[in-house]
Amino acid sequence: MDLAELNRVATAMVAPGKGLLAADESGGTIAKRFAAIDVESTETNRRDYRELLFRSTKAMHDHISGVILFDETIRQKAVDGTPLVKIIEQAGAIPGIKVDKGAKSLAFCPGETITEGLDGLRERLAEYRELGARFCKWRAVINIGSGIPTYDSISSNAHALARYAALCQEQGLVPIVEPEVLMDGDHTIDRCDEVTELVLKTVFQALFTARVKLEGMVLKPNMIVPGAKCATQASDEDIAEKTIRVLKDCVPSAVPGIAFLSGGQADVEATARLDAMNKIGGFPWHLTFSYGRALQHAPQVAWSGKPENVAAAEAAFSHRAEMNGLATLGKWTPDMESTIAQRS
């Protein structure tokens, strides 16, 4: 393991003005997203859509530091035969790969899951590195509800994340450590705050036990938000302030950067809240985005599977990437949503 190289990659992933594109939807998830725009989920359609994103030069070159891929995509070639990984590299972005095998029911813990994929992981990581990946992602899912999360789900998922992260670093790959506390349900923002704090403290304890080098990783957490069905919603400033407070309490300053998931927040909400955090400032890590839905919803709708819509989809993606890039600097304002969109 070359820690200086891991730190170099982790730092590049969270470079100011840039963030990560999460394009690692599993077969089931991409089929759901395509169904919403009336597109059949065939291998060719998935390739065409992702090629469109990766060839969006302005977004990729100026605002995307890296792309998280799914196993199928890291092996795919563009229409002209160029591997998609090469197209990402040519845009100056770093290819990464989702390596977990999904969240499965956790025995004796109804409503909770454990993320699987550790068996054989060392060999899979070595192959992904050969294919061009320089970082990985593993997502643990924590659900809030009546009587949950249990300590079993939190500690089992933290343990799996730590074993995954250590294997990644051993193989020369930067782990994105993603413990996602879901925003499904009617819980309050304070409940999200309390659960996220327990989850992050447990995860960092497990990372320490597994001897993971914090300088060579990126944390991908949820923001502190109320449940989507909670009667009392919160302001962007409140969310930003609470999120920073929990992170300061839980995340050592050796971690180079924190890249948030969007988790079902609306596009502009996810941008506004990231921007609000960076406007507050005063923390030791770079705060950026690793958005899936909040970056891709607009281009997916614009594309809708039609070749004649490729330019409109590229423009929609570039716009969201630019807005989020500005939010990493605390330089976004709501009026840019319309003025910059008109300019392009």
Find the shortest distance in angstroms from Cβ 336 to ligand 13P: 21
CB of 19 to ligand 13P, least distance (A): 11
Task: Reduce the DSSP state of residue 51 to 3 states and report it.
Answer: helix
Q: Compute the half-sphere exposure of residue 123: CA atoms within 13 Å on the CB side of its CA.
A: 2
311 CA to centre of own chain: 25
Q: Which is nearer to ligand 13P, 6 or 136 (CB)?
A: 136
Among 139, 159, 242, 320, binds ligand 13P (CB under 6 A): 139
Q: Is 185 left (phi over 0), alpha (psi -120 to 50) or beta?
A: left
Can you tell me which residue has the tokens 């990402």? 88
**Would you report the helix, strand and coil content of the chain in percent, each value rounded to 5?**
50, 15, 35
Backbone phi and psi for residue 259, each to the nearest 5 degrees, phi listed first: -120, 110
Q: Is 30 in the site for ligand 13P (CB under 6 A)?
A: no
299 touching ligand 13P, by CB under 6 A: no
Q: Which residues contact 82 (CB under 8 A, 6 or more apart)?
A: none
In the complex, least distance from residue 108 CB atom to ligand 13P, rounded to whole angstroms: 25
Burial of 41 (C-beta count, 10 Å sphere; 0-12/13-18/19+) = middle
Q: How far is the CB of 194 from ligand 13P (least distance, A)?
A: 21
Q: Does 216 bind ligand 13P (CB under 6 A)?
A: no
Q: Applying CB under 6 A, does 273 fall inside the site for ligand 13P?
A: no
Please tell me whether residue 291 binds ligand 13P under the rule CB under 6 A.
Answer: yes
Which residues belong to the active site? 178, 220
User: Please, which residues have CB within 8 angstroms of residue 174's CB and are 6 or more apart in sequence?
Assistant: 6, 9, 10, 13, 96, 134, 135, 136, 168, 216, 217, 218
Binders of ligand 13P among residues 56 to 115 (CB under 6 A) are none
Interaction between residue 293 and ligand 13P (CB under 6 A):
yes
Least distance between ligand 13P and beta carbon 295 (Å):
7
Interaction of residue 263 with ligand 13P, rule CB under 6 A = yes
Is residue 14 near ligand 13P by the rule CB under 6 A? Answer: no
Contact characters 181-210, ligand 13P, x per CB under 6 A: ------------------------------
Give yes or no for residue 262 binding ligand 13P (CB under 6 A): yes
Q: Is 50 in the site for ligand 13P (CB under 6 A)?
A: no
174 lies in the site for ligand 13P, by CB under 6 A: no
175 forms part of the interface with ligand 13P (CB under 6 A): no
By CB under 6 A, is residue 18 in contact with ligand 13P? Answer: no
Please report how close the Cβ of residue 162 comes to ligand 13P at its closest, in angstroms: 18
Q: How many CB atoms lie within 10 A of CB 84?
A: 25
Q: Which residues are CB-contacts of 259 (< 8 A; sequence separation ≥ 6)?
A: 13, 14, 19, 20, 176, 218, 219, 220, 288, 289, 290
Q: Is 177 in the site for ligand 13P (CB under 6 A)?
A: no
Q: State which of residues 227, 257, 292, 299 lies at the interface with ligand 13P (CB under 6 A).
A: 292
Whole-angstrom distance, CA of residue 330 vs CA of residue 287: 10
DSSP state of 107: T
**Residue with smaller CB distance to ligand 13P, 32 or 209:** 32
Instruction: Look at the alpha carbons of 103, 300, 315, 80 in this order and tell me if their dihedral is positive or negative.
Output: positive
| Binding residue (CB under 6 A) for ligand 13P from 9, 10, 22, 326 | 22
Q: Is 317 in the site for ligand 13P (CB under 6 A)?
A: no
Binding site for ligand 13P (CB under 6 A): 22, 139, 178, 261-263, 291-294
